[in-house]
Chains A and B, each alone.
Chain A
Amino acid sequence: AAGVIQSPRHLIKEKRETATLKCYPIPRHDTVYWYQQGPGQDPQFLISFYEKMQSDKGSIPDRFSAQQFSDYHSELNMSSLELGDSALYFCASSSPPGGTDTQYFGPGTRLTVL
């Protein structure tokens, strides 16, 4: 079965640079979630989109923004990168949103900020 696709899988950036992470949800899933998992930490919810509209917002820094496109893929844009942004960034997708949806996670993008 098709899974959530994330690209790139690994990314190395310098401080103050920008980064763009991409997420392609499972076919026919219209809801996308972004999570950040620091080393040895639990995943922290950043933001979600349903039908191209922002749906829920978690602990996403103001330096980060995200959007969902007409084909339901999503991009997380990160600017003015800091050392503390080094983490594994997971995308998850689900359908339909609401109380009984299950989120399926992608393999993650490992971002290293030097």
Chain B
Amino acid sequence: AQSVSQHNHHVILSEAASLELGCNYSYGGTVNLFWYVQYPGQHLQLLLKYFSGDPLVKGIKGFEAEFIKSKFSFNLRKPSVQWSDTAEYFCAVKGYSGGGADGLTFGKGTHLIIQP
């Protein structure tokens, strides 16, 4: 079974600051990795995903993430945050079993607050 660990549960930044949210996972095989964002009172929206290939993936709204296999990490970054980035951020992993609709395993989430 896989597990996901997000290092920071609460992060407070000022606008224009740089952001990095840590995510580590444990799984013995091939994984698919995701970052989802949940704005207050809304549903989960996909920010970006990694399946294979270039370990640096770019997502929506200026977010990017880097997959480092040797560190089992998939950290989320944004060079300059905006007030509208205030939300809950979830890292998620899906172990690739070669078929079947396997569920995602989520981290506990990081509550990001951007101060104007």
Contacts and interface: CB of A to CB of B under 8 A. Distances in A.
A7 interface: no
Interface stretch (B14-22, B41-49, B69-77): B41-49
Contacts, number: 73
B90 A50 contact: no
Contact of A94 (B90, B98, B101): B101
Interface residues of A, number: 32
Interface residues of B, number: 27
B102 A56 contact: yes
Interface of B: 30, 32, 34, 36, 42-46, 49, 51, 90, 94, 96-109
Given A55-B101, A92-B44, 6 more contacts: A42-B109, A45-B103, A46-B103, A90-B44, A99-B30, A101-B101
29 contacts: A32-B101, A33-B103, A33-B104, A35-B103, A42-B109, A43-B44, A43-B90, A43-B106, A45-B105, A48-B103, A50-B100, A55-B102, A56-B101, A56-B102, A56-B103, A90-B43, A90-B44, A94-B101, A98-B99, A99-B32, A99-B94, A99-B96, A99-B99, A101-B101, A102-B49, A105-B36, A105-B43, A105-B44, A105-B45
